[in-house]
Amino acid sequence: MKKFLILSFLLIINCNTGSESSEDTEVSNEVQKSEEVSLSKTLEYPSDFDIYELFECLSDNNIGQIPEPKFLDNSIIIEFDDGYSAEYIENFTNASSSCVSEFKNSNDGNSENDVIDSSSKSNIEINIENECKKGFYSQRPNPVKEDDSFLYYEFYWQGSQKICYNFYEPEIIDDEWEVRVKNLIDNLSGKLGIYTPINLALVDQLRASSETLNQINIDDCKIYNFISDENEIQNCAQNADDWGNRFAAAGVDWYGLPNGGNIALFVDNWENMGYETAIKIFSHEYFHVHQNGLVYFFEKDGLFGTPKAWLNDPESTIFNDNPDRSYLFPNWIEEGGAEFAAPILATQFDNSIDAQKYFIESLDEARNVVQVAASNGDIVSLQDYEFAGGLYESYDNPNNGIPREFAYQYTGGQWAHLFLYSLDGSNYQKLMMTFYQNWSENESRNPGNGWKVTFEELFDMPVEEFYIMFDNFMLKDREEQLSILPSNSELQNLTLNK
């Protein structure tokens, strides 16, 4: 939502002029700027200004790499750090002035108090017909409300979200597997639900043409990074991971949430690993879109939410290269949760799949991590895998400087979930659904600690106490550990309430 007077003021501060009319004076009462910060480095807008429409216009004028806005209670701040050249800032300023002129012209005929509803703009909502391989928004839409810690959104696709099955060069993919993938994902969405639109890509990354593989990169860059400039799209596509050795992957990114989730599956998943493992892998990946599609949803209000701290300062929070805590939830919950769910969901899809086998393989791998570390004077704790697993698996391991064996967040995380289930059968529902359902509400009330509050409420113990219990369990004899593993029949008969 914006007013013409606000846009006029934006033009003034971007042009950095010294003149001040009576109209400028009126607007300056709405927007306060620090006199200690140069306007060429910091721009401040009213909290109701449509900053993303400005970004859309700037993108159309080939201004990319725009700083992430900081949303404060009464204003929106754009800061240019030392990484932005004077030439870039000048180009940004000139393009902004042109954009403001366009906004001014589009408002001709309206009174100064007339308000434009940007959410109805076709350049924001771009996929009303719910087409596949296409984003729903060209930019992040405006929130419908906010509080001290969250911005809340209502997306126009809510209630009509679906899974798009995008099979690239299907002539070189076995028809049987095309059907099998669709049947599996339909089965999983029926059990777990579908909370955002999902684009699923299935491709033979070893045999598909370079044009096809590049098009997948382009599609992803357009949809999930909100890029419209052709040069930026090509640059994004060229910097994607190399084809030929990609692993199956999936998720719903907090920033790209308005355009839903993404699943990437490959023919070599079953050619190299076989039928049962492929089904387990695909189930693991679907669980990731389940986790991250559900975690931002406020069921009571029917809204999705994003923490303000992430939007205001992503480099120091969710994108922090050296974090001091988990901002969403621990790696052992994210990866261990998917590893726990995957064999269960796989054997429920096809009873011939031996879920126990996968749990036993993971236990042996986890035991090896613990035992090898112990032989080097290093004590493994699940707590190490909240966010710092990579540190302990490097030569910077703070315990002894010796890298640990890999992947305890997967294997130890899986058995941590199984251990919680063994304490109380009702924990299955909590591990698969309730934890993710309750995260957003608890995070909004306890910024930065939502996952801990959720864990402790659901499992009736401090998370530190659980770490002690589980770490001790992982030191027990293998036979005693295996005694908590349910039979395949028991796993097949577990049920959920969506």
Torsion of CA 337, 286, 389, 404, to 10 degrees: 90
Which of 256, 287, 312 finishes a domain? 312
359 and 308 part of one domain: no
Q: Which residues contact 408 (CB under 8 A, 6 or more apart)?
A: 332, 366, 369, 380, 382, 384, 385, 389
183 and 232 part of one domain: yes
Q: With contact defined as beta carbons under 8 Å apart, do 363 and 413 qualify? A: no
Q: What angle do CA 337, 343, 348 make, to 5 degrees?
A: 120
- Report the half-sphere exposure of 490 (CA within 13 A, side-chain side): 9
Q: With contact defined as beta carbons under 8 Å apart, do 306 and 257 qualify? A: yes
328 and 280 part of one domain: no
Count of CB atoms situated within 10 Å of the CB of 10: 25
DSSP single-letter state for residue 137: B
Decide if 407 is inside a domain: yes
Q: Which residues contact 332 (CB under 8 A, 6 or more apart)?
A: 382, 385, 386, 389, 408, 409, 412, 413, 416
Residues 244 and 213: their CA atoms lie apart, in Å, by: 10
What pLDDT is attached to residue 3? 31
Q: Find the distance separating the first CA and the last CA of the chain, reported in whole Å.
A: 36
92 and 9 part of one domain: yes
Residues 455 and 427: their CA atoms lie apart, in Å, by: 11
The beta strand positions in 67-118, using DSSP E, are 70-71, 75-79
298 and 326 part of one domain: no
Residue type present at position 289: V
In angstroms and rounded to an integer, the radius of gyration of the C-alpha atoms of the chain is 25
Q: With contact defined as beta carbons under 8 Å apart, do 153 and 186 qualify? A: no
What is the greatest pairwise CA distance in the chain?
Answer: 82
337 and 456 part of one domain: yes
Q: With contact defined as beta carbons under 8 Å apart, do 45 and 53 qualify? A: no
Residue 1 tokens, joined: 């939502």
Residues in the chain: 498
83 and 180 part of one domain: no
Decide if 376 is inside a domain: yes
Decide if 133 is inside a domain: no
What pLDDT is attached to residue 277? 98
Nearest to 230 by CA among 89, 2, 62: 62
pLDDT per residue rounded down to tens, the chain (498 residues): 333 223 322 322 333 333 333 333 333 333 343 333 333 477 777 766 777 778 778 777 778 778 877 777 566 778 887 777 777 777 787 777 777 666 655 554 443 333 233 334 445 899 999 999 999 999 999 999 999 999 999 999 999 999 999 999 999 999 999 999 999 999 999 999 999 999 999 999 999 999 999 999 999 998 998 888 889 999 999 999 999 999 999 999 999 999 999 999 999 999 999 999 999 999 999 999 999 999 999 999 999 999 999 999 999 999 998 899 999 999 999 999 999 999 999 999 999 999 999 999 999 999 999 999 999 999 999 999 999 999 999 999 999 999 999 999 999 999 999 999 999 999 999 999 999 999 999 999 999 999 999 999 999 999 999 999 999 999 999 999 999 999 999 999 999 998
Q: CATH number, domain at 69?
A: 3.90.1150
221 and 157 part of one domain: yes
Residues 123 and 147: their CA atoms lie apart, in Å, by: 27
Burial class (CB in 10 A: 0-12, 13-18, 19+), 327: buried
Decide if 193 is inside a domain: yes
Decide if 352 is inside a domain: yes
168 and 258 part of one domain: yes
Residue type present at position 379: I
Which of 291, 312, 333 finishes a domain? 312
Residue 156 vs residues 54, 164, 258, 307, 321: alpha-carbon distances, Å:
21, 17, 9, 20, 34
Number of structural domains (the chain) is 3
Residue 288 tokens, joined: 């990731």
336 and 255 part of one domain: no
What is the domain range of residue 53? 4-116
Nearest to 59 by CA among 228, 226, 222: 228
Q: Name the pTM for this structure.
A: 0.77
Which of 66, 100, 116 finishes a domain? 116
Query: For residue 44, what is the enclosing H or E element?
Result: strand 42-46
Residue 456 tokens, joined: 């402790």
Decide if 138 is inside a domain: no
Decide if 201 is inside a domain: yes
What sign for the dihedral angle of Cα 309, 315, 318, 321?
negative
333 and 453 part of one domain: yes
User: Which single residue is written with the structure tokens 């090509």?
Assistant: 234
Decide if 360 is inside a domain: yes
351 and 407 part of one domain: yes
